[in-house]
């Protein structure tokens, strides 16, 4: 039930964002005509999948980005928020997902950075500590002023961030996925503190996609999808299922032509893998699955539920604490990237600019990075330049890379064409197993379609494909069978994706439901 | 052997350690502060060369060591700010800026020395040693009372003004870094520039202050070399102290106290080398000792850091 | 930006950097010039500049400047060591390794080769070859130290190689003083190199232009091929551009980092050996020769591309010669070269130098592309209407 639209400036709204549109210089429209209102003293959830435009909207409210069109009103005043400093001066504070703290400084020092109290030439440490204590007590946010930030737990770091905003006079707090890094106990504590802040008249924006938390803590919620607002609701008036349906859904139904998969023998076998990250959070919890020749196994899930760690582990970038991973019955844990590639593993990396390419090298040089030592490309000690040129030209043609020549710098290409270069290399190296991590993120429609088609083609030619994607449409349409990850665990396994609906997916992805162990166990084809 | 030990355990020997450590300490402080601000200035060597030349020449022409010292400091700061301009504004790789300054500090100072003094005879070698008399040197300071203490008194008292300044600067730098808001800002900018700028601290300004500070310290170090230690300027007289300082910074864990101890270790190595050559060891065999100690020191430091990290990691895995 | 414009921009930028350096030089020459009046100083500056810019190739006489072949060969001869250090630095910097050990490397190579030339008799043709190779291998072995410390223990290769320079210099001086010097001579120098070891001159005009120059050019070709036409050179460059990418692609990152520094050391080493046997009768260096630092400037000027090293070397040798001539004929100390070198270096490496001009070019190119596109579409539209 959408909130009634108010044309006039209402006293009850501390923030009104009207018709906000944001188009980035690269042409991506992150927000389109979004309306967003905050009532004084409420906890307001901003929900949506990755890439729905939540962060962009909040960045504009905090002055980190400027809207292409639309108006922002704060306390009945129309503002141009040109920088965070301006936003802070109007009482808007933001707690970023990646903390803006200096690890080797103490809590108190971080609190007063840039506004340190002085006594003569020196910092008045006692006063800094006193200020910290005063605010910590007033808002019931327990921190240790004298401890170094690097020594305190994540939960306390977050409190320091909140206090930092409060001490600078923030009345409106934007919390960007505050519970993503917290343990359950820490989350409980945070909620207590947020309620306390609310009672004192503070307004809080809570960015999240965890349904249970939203139901528990917020008064109202705005749902975003594909850069647009899907409406504003009173939290008590909607059910989790409704939210899930509004939030998770395909904006476009892809029509990927594919025959039914005929999977044969198992290529990759993962058993009981566990991984605990450096902040002691269990990112992979007893993960077991198989990937077979001739099928695309999809891994769906909201980002941050262990997918990244899984890929890193499969490609030798991190070692799990427990479990086994074999490829055609041979252990592949602890192998170098070179050995993995020799065994036939290919990876389309999520961060293509960091891992996928050498930006200032030519397209050709990027295309041969995994095969520069192969005999057919060398003649004695020298490169066989003709063979390399032919290889590059062929790949450029086969994968329709739009470029002036193979000598062009790869970094000068558009995102879609850069990804095509990566894909061309990874797909053409005779792989046995392709790990495709967010293969079409942030690239144009043409390139996206092309890459998806190729993935299907390759799987049908007998290659095993593991597709990791936060794009629901992609993972549901492309995959033959599908795993849903939630909280480092496999929440569900679907042998056949053709009958799956968005609603069902949403419930598993957001942790409303989980399959039984026997059901999940079916992904192991022993 | 016993005789040699006896030779070592003299007040003169300990005195010389402190004396030799002073210029390295200046440069180490420079390295520490820029490192805290998040970058590495390898041009310390060249900065010291320029300051050394300026100090000796200005004191000669102005007939006063005070002016010489002030000029050395000023040129150190000016040159370092220029480095900052290239590195921060024109985005030249800071390492390359440092190499350029070192190049200019080597032959370029000789050029300036020849041009200014007209001492062109002897094309390859030139120095300002002949111009500097004892009145133009920075004076030594005797401390009443302390110099009466046996043994210890003759180690501590009688040092050059700048030796005192070096150790004083060490304390002051530590205070500056940890007790003032400038130091707080420097450390914040070095560790997490985003965090600093998000609360309104100007990252660029802080970087300029840090590199300017390194120039100031190199000014002291250069003045120490030409206006006391070697009593005059000569080609390549700084002899790698600017580079040793980079190692001392790393070995000292980036802290002032550690840096001071590392400087003393290098001072000890060099003083030992001098003693060795005094008992007949070829000076060419004694001179490389501090450089070798630097490499060994870096290796030990790295091993310690590594095992500590390992322990931390295994502790984390246990939890 | 189109390729043509990009090249044009690089050329303009480079020339401007050189121009600024020459302006600074002019100012310094003017300040140091003899003469009481402004006019006298100005004319002295003019004379000195003539020596700097024209002198290296032309002899100044009453009747004007005349091309001097001997001076050209002098320049070519002095290119020999710096081509090698330039190549050495190119290889190491390409892998993003700031190893500054070419300076000590060339001295160690010269020393080792010199000792082979004095003490190990061999057949005439074989002797210089073996001598130079031994020199190269000695430096290659030494460079294992910074390289392995970097890859195994993450010790800064820069500090380590700088320290090595000093250690090498002092140890060579020690060995010379104590064991190897010809005590009958006034200065510290080795015994004479055996006749069999000498590298023959290319031209017999007293210019010291030896066959070493041919070897140097051959090395440029070899290293050029190595860097751009072999898998190892390719891997070195990819690591230099993006180490994470290289690792992800399955390249042997640590091994190749070591390889780059060992090869860099080898090049500096044979450079020292060839310089020794082609120019000197005995080993008499008592301090670091400075060729390593010039090598860094050359690598920067050449953009770490071996093919450009001969040109950058010629440029540096030309300027150095000019500075020497100024010292002889115009009383300007020859060390001016270090200041010129430093200034060129600073501007050449400055990414943002002329960035506004670059931005304008980029915008202009984009606008032109849009305009052509619009024109094409208009044409198309027109055709449709018709």
What is the per-residue DSSP string for A498-526? TT--HHHHHHHHTTS----HHHHHTTS--
Q: Tell me how far CA of residue A176 lies from CA of A55, A77, A445, B166, in angstroms.
A: 8, 25, 29, 48
Place of tokens 């590298």: C199
* Nearest residue of chain B to residue A165 (CA atoms): B199
Q: Give the pLDDT confidence score for residue A85 in this predicted structure.
A: 83
C-contacting residues in B 144-183 (Cβ below 8 Å): none
* Residues A283 and A464: beta-carbon distance below 8 Å: no
* Residues A488 and A476: beta-carbon distance below 8 Å: no
Same domain, residue pair A65 and A123: yes
Provide the H-helix boundaries in A224-326.
240-247, 307-314
Same domain, residue pair A269 and A194: no
Q: Give the pLDDT confidence score for residue A252 in this predicted structure.
A: 56
Q: Examine residue A374 and state whether it is found in any structural domain, yes or no.
A: no
Residues of C whose CB is below 8 A from A347: 248
List chain C domain ranges: 75-323
Q: For the residues of C71-117, what is the DSSP string, one character each?
A: HHHHHHHHHHHHHHHHHHHHHHHHTT----THHHHHHHHHHHHHHHH
CB contact under 8 A, B185 and A105: no
C369 Cβ contact list (under 8 Å, min separation 6): none
Q: Which of C338, C341, C359 to mutate to test the interface with B (most CBs of B within 10 A)?
A: C338
- Provide the b/e sequence for A142-175 (b: ≥16 CB within 10 Å): ebbbeeebeebebbbbbbbbbbbbbbbebbbbbb
Q: Examine residue A47 and state whether it is found in any structural domain, yes or no.
A: yes
The answer, yes or no, to whether residue C222 has pLDDT greater than 90, is yes
Question: pLDDT tens, A123-133?
Answer: 888 999 999 99
Kindly report the length of chain B.
319
The answer, yes or no, to whether residue B316 has pLDDT greater than 60, is no
Q: Tell me how far CA of residue C27 lies from CA of A16, B102, C49, C297, in angstroms.
A: 62, 21, 11, 22
Interface contact B191, partner A, CB < 8 A: yes
Question: pLDDT tens, A329-362?
Answer: 899 998 999 999 999 999 999 888 889 999 889 9
Q: Examine residue A516 and state whether it is found in any structural domain, yes or no.
A: yes
Pairing status of strand A464-468 against strand A433-437: parallel
Same domain, residue pair A202 and A304: no
Q: Examine residue A526 and state whether it is found in any structural domain, yes or no.
A: yes
Same domain, residue pair A243 and A269: no
Q: Give the pLDDT confidence score for residue C49 in this predicted structure.
A: 86
A516 Cβ contact list (under 8 Å, min separation 6): none
Q: Examine residue A402 and state whether it is found in any structural domain, yes or no.
A: no
Indicate the average pLDDT of chain B.
Answer: 86
Three-state DSSP state, A273: strand
Place of tokens 């007293």: C206
* Alpha carbons C246 and A369: distance in angstroms, whole number: 7
Q: Tell me how far CA of residue A145 lies from CA of A121, A131, A168, B300, C11, in angstroms.
A: 22, 9, 17, 35, 57
Three-state DSSP state, A295: coil
Number of domains in chain B: 1
Same domain, residue pair A228 and A267: no
* Nearest residue of chain C to residue A386 (CA atoms): C229
The pair of three-digit structure tokens given for residue A33, joined into one six-digit string: 């005509």
Nearest to A358 among C230, C231, C238 (CB): C238
Q: Which of B177, B182, B184 to mutate to test the interface with A (most CBs of A within 10 A)?
A: B184
* Residues B36 and B190: beta-carbon distance below 8 Å: yes
Nearest Cα to C205, choosing from C59, C73, C320, C318?
A: C73
* Alpha carbons C78 and C81: distance in angstroms, whole number: 7
B94 Cβ contact list (under 8 Å, min separation 6): B39, B40, B41, B42, B83, B87
Nearest Cα to C199, choosing from C188, C208, C212?
A: C212
Same domain, residue pair A236 and A287: no
Nearest to B198 among A84, A105, A122 (CB): A84
Q: Give the pLDDT confidence score for residue B156 in this predicted structure.
A: 75
CA C140 from centroid of its chain's CA atoms? 18
**What residues in chain A have per-residue pLDDT under 50?**
1-9
> What is the 3-state composition of chain C as percent helix, strand, coil, each rounded to the nearest 5?
75, 5, 25
Compute, in degrees rounded to 10, the torsion defined by CA atoms C51, C54, C58, C63: -80
Provide the H-helix boundaries in B180-255.
181-191, 193-198, 203-224, 241-251
Same domain, residue pair A243 and A306: no
Print the domain residue range for B42: 2-237
Q: Give the pLDDT confidence score for residue B287 in this predicted structure.
A: 86
Which run of H or E residues covers position B156?
helix B152-156
Q: Examine residue B308 and state whether it is found in any structural domain, yes or no.
A: no
Residues of A whose CB is below 8 A from C249: 337, 341, 369-370
Interface contact A164, partner B, CB < 8 A: yes
Q: Give the pLDDT confidence score for residue B10 in this predicted structure.
A: 81
Strand partners, A486: A489
Write down which chains contact chain A via at least 3 CB pairs under 8 A: B, C
Residues of A whose CB is below 8 A from C230: 381-383
Strand partners, A299: A468, A483
A-contacting residues in C 221-280 (Cβ below 8 Å): 225, 229-231, 234-235, 237-238, 241-242, 244-252
Indicate the average pLDDT of chain C.
Answer: 87
Question: pLDDT tens, C266-292?
Answer: 999 999 999 999 999 999 998 889 899
C385 Cβ contact list (under 8 Å, min separation 6): none
Q: Examine residue A367 and state whether it is found in any structural domain, yes or no.
A: no
* Alpha carbons C332 and A516: distance in angstroms, whole number: 88
Same domain, residue pair A267 and A337: yes
Q: Give the pLDDT confidence score for residue B239 in this predicted structure.
A: 86
Question: pLDDT tens, A167-177?
Answer: 988 899 999 88
CB contact under 8 A, A122 and B188: no
Measure in Å the smallest separation between the Cα of B188 and chain A Cα atoms: 6
Residues of A whose CB is below 8 A from B198: 84, 100
Measure in Å the smallest separation between the Cα of C16 and chain B Cα atoms: 15
The average pLDDT across C227-243 equals 94
Question: pLDDT tens, B236-283?
Answer: 888 889 999 998 998 888 899 999 999 999 899 888 888 888 887 788
Banded model confidence at residue C170, pLDDT cuts 50, 70, 90: very high
Q: For the residues of A330-345, what is the DSSP string, one character each?
A: EE-TT--HHHHHHTTE
CB contact under 8 A, A278 and B316: yes
Nearest Cα to B47, choosing from B263, B204, B266, B238?
A: B238
Residue that is last in its domain, among A247, A271, A288: A247
Q: Examine residue B176 and state whether it is found in any structural domain, yes or no.
A: yes
Please tell me which residue, C319 or B138, carries the higher pLDDT value: C319
C129 Cβ contact list (under 8 Å, min separation 6): none
Please tell me which residue, B157 or A361, carries the higher pLDDT value: A361
**Cβ neighbourhood burial of A297 (10 Å; 0-12, 13-18, 19+):** buried
Neighbours of A86 (CB within 10 A): 14
Place of tokens 């989790």: A240
A3 Cβ contact list (under 8 Å, min separation 6): A37, A220, A231, A232, A233, A234
Kindly report the length of chain A.
526
Which run of H or E residues covers position A93?
strand A92-95
Nearest to B199 among A103, A114, A123 (CB): A114
Q: Examine residue B86 and state whether it is found in any structural domain, yes or no.
A: yes
Residue that is last in its domain, among A220, A247, A274: A247
Same domain, residue pair A162 and A19: yes
Banded model confidence at residue B1, pLDDT cuts 50, 70, 90: low
CB contact under 8 A, A359 and C247: no
DSSP secondary structure code for residue A13 in this structure: E
* Alpha carbons B227 and B223: distance in angstroms, whole number: 5
Residue that is last in its domain, among A247, A274, A298: A247
Print the domain residue range for A211: 13-247
The average pLDDT across C167-183 equals 90
- The model's pTM is 0.85
User: Which value, in Å, is the radius of gyration of the alpha carbons in chain B?
Assistant: 21
Same domain, residue pair A243 and A270: no
Residues of B whose CB is below 8 A from A164: 199
Q: Please count the residue pairs, one from chain B and one from chain C, whose beta carbons lie less than 8 angstroms apart.
A: 144
Q: Examine residue A370 and state whether it is found in any structural domain, yes or no.
A: no
> What is the 3-state composition of chain A as percent helix, strand, coil, each rounded to the nearest 5?
35, 25, 40
CATH number for position A230: 3.40.50.300
Same domain, residue pair A215 and A299: no
Q: Which of A94, A110, A113 to mutate to test the interface with B (most CBs of B within 10 A)?
A: A113
The answer, yes or no, to whether residue C263 has pLDDT greater than 90, is yes
Pairing status of strand A433-437 against strand A345-348: parallel
Handedness of CA B268, B272, B275, B277 (dihedral sign): negative
C196 Cβ contact list (under 8 Å, min separation 6): C121, C122, C123, C124, C127
* Alpha carbons A422 and A443: distance in angstroms, whole number: 13
Strand partners, A74: A15, A77
* Alpha carbons B211 and B208: distance in angstroms, whole number: 5
Pairing status of strand A69-74 against strand A77-79: antiparallel
- Provide the b/e sequence for C310-325 (b: ≥16 CB within 10 Å): bebbbbbbbbbbbbbb
Number of domains in chain A: 2
Q: Give the pLDDT confidence score for residue B314 in this predicted structure.
A: 58
The answer, yes or no, to whether residue C11 has pLDDT greater than 70, is yes
Residues of C whose CB is below 8 A from B243: 159, 162-163
The answer, yes or no, to whether residue B121 has pLDDT greater than 60, is no
The average pLDDT across C178-186 equals 85
Strand partners, A410: none
Q: For the residues of A21-51, what is the DSSP string, one character each?
A: EEE-TTS-EEEEEEEEEEETT-EEEEE--TT
Banded model confidence at residue C160, pLDDT cuts 50, 70, 90: very high
The answer, yes or no, to whether residue B317 has pLDDT greater than 70, is no
Question: pLDDT tens, C18-64?
Answer: 888 889 888 888 887 776 778 888 888 888 888 888 888 888 776 77
Measure in Å the smallest separation between the Cα of B186 and chain A Cα atoms: 11
CB contact under 8 A, C162 and B285: no
Q: Examine residue B214 and state whether it is found in any structural domain, yes or no.
A: yes
The answer, yes or no, to whether residue B319 has pLDDT greater than 60, is no
Given the candidates 1.10.3470, 1.10.10, 3.30.1760, 1.10.405, the CATH classification of the domain at C75-323 is 1.10.3470
Instruction: Indicate left, alpha or beta for B203 from its phi (over 0: left) and psi (-120 to 50: alpha).
Output: alpha
Same domain, residue pair A242 and A320: no
């Amino acid at each position: 039930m959408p909130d009634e639209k108010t044309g006039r400036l209402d006293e009850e709204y501390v923030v009104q964002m009207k018709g906000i549109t944001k188009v980035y210089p690269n042409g991506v429209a992150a927000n389109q005509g979004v309306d967003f209102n905050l009532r004084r003293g409420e906890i307001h959830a901003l929900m949506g999948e990755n890439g729905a435009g939540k962060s962009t909207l909040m960045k504009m409210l905090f002055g980190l980005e400027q809207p292409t069109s639309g108006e922002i009103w704060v306390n009945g005043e129309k503002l141009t928020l040109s920088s965070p400093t301006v936003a802070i001066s109007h009482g808007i504070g933001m707690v970023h997902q990646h903390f803006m703290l200096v690890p080797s400084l103490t809590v108190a020092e971080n609190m007063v950075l840039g506004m340190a109290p002085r006594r003569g030439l020196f910092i008045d440490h006692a006063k800094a500590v006193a200020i910290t204590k005063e605010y910590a007590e007033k808002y019931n946010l327990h921190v240790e002023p004298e401890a170094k930030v690097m020594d305190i737990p994540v939960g306390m770091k977050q409190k320091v961030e909140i206090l930092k905003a409060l001490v600078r006079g923030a009345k409106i707090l934007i919390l960007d996925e505050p519970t993503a890094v917290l343990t359950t106990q820490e989350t409980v504590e945070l909620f207590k503190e947020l309620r306390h802040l609310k009672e004192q008249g503070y307004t809080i924006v809570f960015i999240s996609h965890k349904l249970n938390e939203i139901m528990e803590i917020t008064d109202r919620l705005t749902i975003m999808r594909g850069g647009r607002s899907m409406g504003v609701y009173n939290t008590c008036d909607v059910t989790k299922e409704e939210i899930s349906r509004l939030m998770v859904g395909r904006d476009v139904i892809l029509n990927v032509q594919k025959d039914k998969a005929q999977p044969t023998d198992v290529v990759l076998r993962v058993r009981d893998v566990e991984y605990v990250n450096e902040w002691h959070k269990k990112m992979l919890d007893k993960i077991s699955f198989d990937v077979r020749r001739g099928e695309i196994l999809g891994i769906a899930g909201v980002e941050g539920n262990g997918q990244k760690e899984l890929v890193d582990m499969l490609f030798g970038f991190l070692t799990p604490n427990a479990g086994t991973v074999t490829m055609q019955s041979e252990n592949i844990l602890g192998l170098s990237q070179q050995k993995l590639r020799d065994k036939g593993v290919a990876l389309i990396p999520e961060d293509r600019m960091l891992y996928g390419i050498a930006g200032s090298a030519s397209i050709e040089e990027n295309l041969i990075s995994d095969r520069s030592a192969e005999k057919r490309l060398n003649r004695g000690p020298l490169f066989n330049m003709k063979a390399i040129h032919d290889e590059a030209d062929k790949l450029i043609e086969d994968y329709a890379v739009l470029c002036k020549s193979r000598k062009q710098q790869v970094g000068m290409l558009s995102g879609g064409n850069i990804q095509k270069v990566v894909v061309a290399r990874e797909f053409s190296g005779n792989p046995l197993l392709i790990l495709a991590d967010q293969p079409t993120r942030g690239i144009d429609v043409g390139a996206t379609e092309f890459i998806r088609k190729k993935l299907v083609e390759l799987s049908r030619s007998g290659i095993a494909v593991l597709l990791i994607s936060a794009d629901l449409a992609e993972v549901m349409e492309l995959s033959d069978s599908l795993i849903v990850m939630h909280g480092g665990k496999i929440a569900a396994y679907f042998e056949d994706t053709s009958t799956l609906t968005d609603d069902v997916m949403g419930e598993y992805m957001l942790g409303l439901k989980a399959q039984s162990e026997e059901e999940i166990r079916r992904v192991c084809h022993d | 052997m016993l005789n040699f030990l006896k030779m070592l355990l003299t007040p003169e020997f300990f005195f010389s350690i402190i004396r030799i450590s002073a210029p390295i300490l200046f440069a180490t402080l420079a390295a520490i502060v820029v490192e805290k601000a998040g970058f590495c200035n390898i041009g310390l060597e060249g900065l010291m060369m320029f300051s050394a030349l300026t100090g000796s020449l200005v004191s000669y022409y102005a007939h006063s060591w005070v002016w010489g010292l002030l000029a050395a400091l000023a040129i150190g700061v000016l040159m370092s700010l220029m480095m900052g301009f290239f590195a921060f504004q024109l985005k030249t790789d800071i390492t390359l800026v440092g190499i350029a300054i070192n190049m200019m500090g080597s032959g370029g100072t000789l050029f300036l020395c020849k041009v200014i003094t007209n001492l062109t005879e002897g094309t390859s070698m030139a120095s300002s040693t002949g111009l500097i008399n004892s009145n133009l040197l920075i004076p030594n300071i005797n401390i009443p009372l302390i110099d009466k203490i046996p043994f210890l008194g003759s180690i501590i008292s009688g040092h050059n003004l700048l030796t005192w300044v070096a150790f004083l600067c060490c304390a002051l730098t530590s205070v500056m870094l940890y007790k003032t808001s400038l130091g707080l800002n420097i450390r914040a900018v070095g560790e997490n520039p985003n965090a600093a700028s998000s609360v309104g601290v100007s990252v660029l300004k802080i970087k300029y202050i840090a590199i300017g500070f390194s120039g100031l310290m190199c000014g002291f170090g250069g003045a120490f070399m030409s206006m006391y230690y070697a009593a005059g300027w000569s080609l390549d007289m700084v002899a790698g102290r600017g580079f040793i300082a980079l190692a001392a910074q790393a070995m000292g864990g980036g802290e002032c106290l550690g840096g001071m101890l590392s400087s003393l270790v290098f001072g000890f190595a060099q003083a030992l080398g001098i003693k060795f050559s005094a008992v007949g060891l070829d000076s060419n065999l004694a001179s490389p000792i501090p450089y070798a100690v630097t490499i060994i020191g870096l290796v030990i430091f790295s091993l310690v850091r590594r095992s500590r990290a390992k322990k931390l990691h295994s502790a984390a895995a246990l939890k | 930006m189109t390729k043509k414009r990009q090249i044009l921009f690089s050329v303009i930028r480079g020339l401007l950097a050189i121009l600024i350096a020459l302006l600074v030089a002019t100012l310094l020459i003017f300040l140091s010039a003899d003469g009481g009046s402004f006019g006298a100083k100005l004319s002295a500056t003019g004379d000195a500049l003539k020596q700097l810019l024209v002198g290296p190739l032309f002899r100044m006489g009453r009747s004007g400047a005349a091309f001097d072949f001997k001076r050209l060969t002098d320049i070519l001869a002095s290119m020999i060591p710096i081509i090698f250090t330039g190549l050495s630095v190119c290889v190491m910097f390409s892998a993003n390794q700031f190893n500054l050990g070419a300076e000590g490397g060339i001295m160690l190579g010269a020393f080792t080769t010199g000792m082979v030339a004095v003490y190990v008799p061999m057949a005439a043709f074989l002797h210089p070859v073996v001598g130079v190779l031994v020199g190269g291998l000695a430096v290659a072995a030494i460079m294992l130290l910074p390289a392995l410390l970097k890859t195994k223990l993450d010790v800064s290769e820069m500090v380590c190689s700088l320290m090595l320079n000093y250690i090498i210099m002092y140890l060579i001086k020690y060995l010379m003083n104590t064991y190897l010097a010809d005590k009958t001579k006034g200065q510290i120098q080795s015994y004479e190199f055996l006749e069999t070891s000498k590298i023959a001159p290319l031209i017999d005009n007293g210019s010291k232009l030896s066959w070493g120059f041919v070897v140097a050019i051959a090395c440029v070709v070899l290293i050029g091929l190595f860097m751009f036409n072999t898998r190892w050179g390719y891997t070195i460059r990819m690591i230099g551009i993006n180490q994470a990418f290289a690792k992800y692609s399955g390249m042997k990152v640590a091994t190749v980092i070591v390889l780059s520094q060992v090869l860099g050391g080898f090049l500096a080493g044979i450079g020292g050996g060839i310089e020794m046997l082609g120019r000197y009768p005995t080993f008499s260096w008592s301090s670091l020769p400075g060729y390593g630092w010039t090598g860094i400037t050359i690598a920067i000027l050449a953009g770490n591309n071996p093919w450009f090293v001969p040109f950058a070397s010629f440029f540096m040798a030309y300027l150095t010669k000019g500075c020497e001539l100024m010292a002889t004929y115009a009383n300007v100390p020859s060390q001016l070269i270090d200041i010129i070198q430093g200034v060129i270096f600073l501007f050449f490496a400055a990414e943002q130098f002329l960035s506004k001009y670059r931005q304008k070019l980029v915008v202009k190119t984009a606008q032109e592309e849009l305009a052509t596109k619009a024109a094409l579409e208009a044409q198309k539209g027109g055709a449709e209407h018709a």
